Structure 1
Amino acid sequence: MSDATLNPANPLDRQTRRAALAALLMGGAAAAAWKLTPTQRMASLHGDFKLEALIPQRFGDWQVDAAAVGGVVNPQQEELLKQLYSQILTRTYVNALGQRVMLSIAYGNDQRDGMQMHYPEICYPAQGFRLASNAKADLNLAGRRIPARRLETVLANQRYEPVTYWTVIGETAVRGGSDKKLAEMRYGFQGLIPDGLLFRVSSVDRDTKAAFELQDRFTAALLASVAQPALNRLAGA
């Protein structure tokens, strides 16, 4: 027998085998981690865009309300949003009946753990609103089903502001929470770093049912007015 042959009964030989196996496992883990680490930003695949140019100022029966003074804004919250998102669009639209809907779209080009969405159920209470309800909703808009959330928010028992929102991660519309994390993981396994967009509409109305119906009509008209690439960004592919 050659002197180079390992003897299983020899403690030194057993240590050598364990060390070799450990090195092999560590090398395999490192290779797997490198393989699974996302490297390609979906933002670069989607190409540059500007929310200001993407969203029309007039569509259907709606146009930007030049007289609108904006919503309730907490300066600290506004600063946080600027850190989280690369673009934020905030507008108020009015129709021929004088009905108003507030639109807010926030876009972030990197949705890894360090840069997460700031959801309305968090930012509204941070601005003094009471969250009266938070429910799931499936919206049938633009020929697709969009998983969304409906909120009822109240400020000082005077301003009643129902809210509808959803999130788009990469090219997938999600409700947020665990659905968002699963979408990020699916893209990560493909080596992709997803971008993210939060689409939110709200209106001041004590009649919650009427407010949500108005928001759906507004959103349907908006999505119908944009081209397919923009539609995929706003509502998922």
Structure 2
Amino acid sequence: MTTTIERSGDDRALNRRQAILGGAFLLTAGTAVARVPSHNIDLLGARKLDKLIPQKIGQWEFYSKSGLVVPPADQLKDALYSQLLTRVYVAPDALPIMLLMAQSGGQTGVLQVHRPEYCYPASGFTLMGRSVLPVPLPGSRLEATAITAAADDRTEQLLYWTRVGEDMPLTWARQRWSVARANLKGDIPDAVLVRVSALTPDREAGMATLTRFVQEMFAAVPSDVRRFLDIDAR
């Protein structure tokens, strides 16, 4: 004997709603997968920063790799940076210059280069006087961020900038937007943070020296390296 159970109208309506919702969830999941960035854009490739950046820049010559404020040592930093270059340059008649370059082969919404506003306070510094300082370059102008960092026994003048893919974001919010916009297009952009600094309480003299060093650095490297450092450089 076979027993037939007849479904009510409410049951049939519920099944239809579940089918529609299930289809919507599958469509959403498929769209999310389709938008996962998979195209890596890396302007540096396999080249090494310590080979590309000269040990003599203008009147400055390489002196040491130590003495710089660096991002805190943690697993995030190890996962984030493909290369980290730290150098101190000295010159007979100018302030010593501390150079840091941090390169990441891929920027996503989770991993992004740390700006000095993150690592300096973490090292006990107070930041002040943040402003945008234009640095004239041949055929272009680099907009860098100028900051004074002060601790109990040290005052440091900083000039830095970031390149994310084809953008030069001046703030953390703009940097996040640059990454998000590239990721939505399916791209994982590379990024570089370049920071130069000098130990002096004299902001005007410090920034003038840092500007001159940056100009000399751009003049000392080939055009493809200039583009790696600044997308608008020629």
**Normalising by structure 2, what TM-score?**
0.83
Relative to structure 1, the CA distance from residue 17 to residue 78 in structure 2 (aligned partners, 3 Å threshold; closer, same or farther) is closer
Against the structure 1 CA distance between its residues 144 and 16, is the aligned structure 2 distance closer, same or farther, given a 3 Å change threshold? farther
Q: Which runs of 5+ in 1 are unaligned?
A: 1-9
What per-residue deviation string (whole Å, max 9, x for no partner) do you get for residues 32-53 of structure 1?
112211012223x752110001
Equivalent position of 1:90 in the other structure: 86
The number of residues matched between the two structures is 223
Say if 1:101 and 1:201, in contact at 8 Å, map to a contact too.
Answer: yes
1:173 counterpart SS class: coil
How far is the alpha carbon of 1:192 from its aligned partner? 1.1
* Match runs of 1:125-204 below 5 Å: 125-156=121-152, 158-204=153-199
Structure 1 residue aligned with 2:6: none
CA contact (8 A) 1:88 1:104 kept: yes
Whole-Å separation in 2 of the counterparts to 1:13 and 1:144: 68
Deviations along 1:62-118, whole A, 9 cap, x unmatched?
322x3x4732558x9245644531211111223341432111101122222442322
Query: Helix, strand or coil for the counterpart of 2:168?
Result: strand
- CA–CA distance in 2 between the matches of 1:150 and 1:47? 29
Change (3 A) 1:79 1:142: farther
Tell me the SS of whatever aligns to 1:149. Answer: strand
Unaligned ranges ≥5, structure 2: 1-8
Contact 1:135 1:149 in 2 (8 A): yes
Shift in CA distance, 182/73, structure 1 to aligned 2, threshold 3 Å: closer
1:6 corresponds in structure 2 to none
Q: Following the alignment from structure 1 to structure 2, what is the Cα–Cα distance between the partners of residues 54 and 14?
A: 67
Return the letter of the residue paired with 2:226: L
Name the CA distance, whole Å, in 2 between partners of 1:69 and 1:177.
Answer: 27
Q: Find the aligned partners of 1:231 and 1:56 in 2 and give their Cα distance.
A: 13
Q: Would the aligned equivalents of 2:65 and 2:86 in 1 still touch at CA under 8 Å?
A: no
SS of the residue aligned with 1:110? coil
